[in-house]
Amino acid sequence: MLQNYDTIIIGAGIAGAAIAHALAKQHQKVLVLDKNGIASGGSGAAGAFVSPKIGKGSPLQTLTNEAFLFAKDFYLSTCPELFHQTGVIRIPKNEEDAKKFQDYEAFNLPKYETYTPQILHDLGIKASFQSFYFPDAGDCDAPQVCTHLLKEIEVVNYAVNTICKEDAFWVVGEYKAKNIVLATGHESNLLDLRYMGIRGTWGTRGDFGSRLDLRVSMHQSLSVGANRDGVIKLGATHEKMVKEMIPCSDEQALGLKHKASALVDTSDFELLQSYCGMRAGSKDYFPLVGRVIDTAYMLEQYPDIVRGAKAPLKHIENLYILNGLGGRGFVFAPLMAKWLAELIVEGKAVDARADPDRLFLKWARKLKPSA
């Protein structure tokens, strides 16, 4: 007999872990499937910084900072031992960037400080630009956070190649459930999700042993974590042209050490371990949280949508997605999971900024009309 659940979640990164945790809190019986286990992809390689976004008040900045405030409180209440509020300094990359920081200041979260070059130098940071310090920010122990969120939830190592609907249930191998949540990251080949524009960005992290007295984290062109128990994490997420997973190499991590030497003294940095993985974003950089549109049905029933016509959207019943969190997965995941759990359990609409429906008709208009 098939094992029965309320919801099956495919993917055990921070997105899958967060929605599994949120649904379990709503008393759902949840199963998480992942072909390689918990935090085996991009989440396991993340520096997992939890910090606000700076800028001129764009909608993406506003949403990111809402998510940051929620995530900070979530980690402090859920797994405080795994969230380290070292504070994060945002440092301009160059003089041109420093001028932009002057415009950004009006849109910063209220709780921040301005650090002069002298303050930075006193902290052992080699930077000559006025910077922003956010004391509530910090970083998570990425794999441990995912494991903690899933500690009371059934997780099975299982490679999902197909999903199908039988009567009112989704069936995946020997498991069935009313609902399915796709938290598969950059691997989005189970259904036609082209309209979401899911794309991967390759990320690398190196953990270095060091005696450097670095008590604060920072971000410039890469992230440099505070020294915790003799380990400093260096990380960057920036390679968008990588299409396939490749083996991690020490050379990539040592390249981060070279970049970090422009900020701090790396002379005693000894590479302990290299990590790498693909993080998934969307075409407009906002998260993807909500129902999935039945693309085949829409194109067949409303062929004129490719010419700009509007049509009522039809969703695949009881199929949901939580994806596109990008390099800020540990910032976005708790709030996005809350929104999705409210949709699944209560039928409450997801915030339009994160709802993938926003992308469909624009995508359809770019398709070539059939003759």
Residues 84 and 138: beta-carbon distance below 8 Å: yes
Please tell me the predicted confidence (pLDDT) of residue 42: 75
Cα separation of 162 and 138, whole Å? 39
Q: Domain 3-42+144-198+283-365: which topology?
A: FAD/NAD(P)-binding domain (3.50.50)
The boundaries of every CATH 3.30.9.10 domain in the chain are: 83-138+201-276
pLDDT of res. 371: 44
Instruction: Report yes or no: 9 and 31 within 8 Å, Cβ to Cβ.
Output: yes
Which pLDDT does position 370 carry in this prediction? 60
pLDDT, position 106: 95
β-bridge pairing 131-134 and 113-115: antiparallel
d(CA 184, CA 322): 8
Q: Give the C-alpha separation, 57 to 79, whole Å.
A: 30
Could you tell me where the beta strands, DSSP code E, fall in the chain? 3-10, 30-34, 49-50, 83-84, 88-90, 113-115, 131-134, 138-140, 154-157, 164-166, 169-172, 175-182, 199-209, 217-219, 223-224, 231-239, 270-281, 288-293, 315-323
Q: Which CATH number fits domain 83-138+201-276: 3.30.70.20, 3.30.9.10, 3.30.70.240, 3.10.450.50?
A: 3.30.9.10
Give residue for tokens 């599994």.
20
Give me the pLDDT at residue 287, please. 98
Rounded to whole angstroms, the Cα distance separating 65 from 353 reads 13
The residue assigned the tokens 């708790």 is 334
Residue with tokens 């410039």: 220
Q: What pLDDT was estimated at residue 103?
A: 95
pLDDT by residue for the chain (371 residues), tens only, comes to 789 999 999 999 999 999 999 999 999 999 999 998 998 887 877 778 999 999 999 999 999 999 999 999 999 999 999 999 999 999 999 999 999 999 999 999 999 999 999 999 999 999 999 999 999 999 999 899 999 999 999 999 999 999 999 989 999 999 999 999 999 998 888 999 999 999 888 888 999 999 999 999 999 989 999 999 999 999 976 655 455 656 778 898 899 999 999 999 999 999 999 988 888 999 999 999 999 999 999 999 999 999 999 999 999 999 999 999 998 999 999 999 999 999 999 999 999 999 999 999 999 999 977 64
* Radius of gyration for the chain, computed over Cα atoms and rounded to the nearest angstrom: 21
